[in-house]
Amino acid sequence: MGTNEKAVAEKLLQINAIKLNVQSPFTWASGWKSPIYCDNRKVLSFPYIRDFIKSEMCNVIFQDFPTADILAGVATAGIAWGAMSADQLKLPFIYVRPKPKEHGLGNQVEGYFEKGQKTVVIEDLVSTGKSSLQVVEVLRDAGLDVIGMVSIFTYAFDHAQEAFNKAGLTLKSLTNYPTLISLAAEKGQVRPEDESILLNWRKDPAKWNPVY
């Protein structure tokens, strides 16, 4: 467990951006039952934690993608983080709409960019990776050279990692589900008997059912 991963997870737990509930699971849009709900948008409302997360994101971009020419935020949750990181690193910034604009120029990628620019995509959360990789496809179709993605949190699903590998894309996340669960158990926010149930969810979320 990396020190920074643990520190980021602790900040998310501190402001209740992460909620854990094995007894009354949350239902995702996909219909999956989940013992976790992640709302990183809350981080924006806490200035000091927001600044910490922004700094960690910039460190990852600087260290892992030093050749980046431009940052691209994923609408809507990745826009703020992408813009703040671009400002600190003094890089250009663009963002990607869920679909092309229905009037005006019909843009899906907003902002100025040049074909061939090495691009890092900024996300707040990666689950299955499907929507994140759709954004990568849009950027690549626009002529950009997408070299990586940085997110605040990932569930670290095996099939998501496989999808990123297939797309030839490196994903770096500030923290992840296994680190979070370990920390929550350490802090007594998860009952000892629930820790293994929470970890098992990640292995097959589509079929998960909490059984005691």
For the ranges 40-44, 138-142, 203-207, the lowest mean pLDDT is seen at: 203-207
Looking at the DSSP bridge assignments, the partners of residue 170 are 148
Looking at the DSSP bridge assignments, the partners of residue 34 are 26
pLDDT digits (tens, 9 = 90+) for 74-115: 999 999 999 999 999 999 999 999 888 767 666 899 999 999
Please state, in angstroms and rounded to a whole number, the distance separating the CA atoms of residues 106 and 102.
6
First and final CA of the chain: distance in angstroms? 28
Distances (CA, A) of 22 to 158, 211, 212: 21, 10, 10
Q: What is the mean pLDDT of the chain?
A: 93
For the ranges 54-68, 94-108, 120-134, 195-209, the lowest mean pLDDT is seen at: 94-108
Reported as a pLDDT band with limits 50, 70 and 90, residue 46 is: very high
Neighbours of 51 (CB within 10 A): 12
pLDDT digits (tens, 9 = 90+) for 152-205: 999 999 999 999 999 999 999 999 999 999 999 999 999 888 999 999 999 888
Q: pLDDT at position 1, please?
A: 44
Instruction: Provide the whole-model pTM.
Output: 0.93
Please state, in angstroms and rounded to a whole number, the distance separating the CA atoms of residues 154 and 177.
6
Residue 3 confidence (pLDDT) above 70 = no
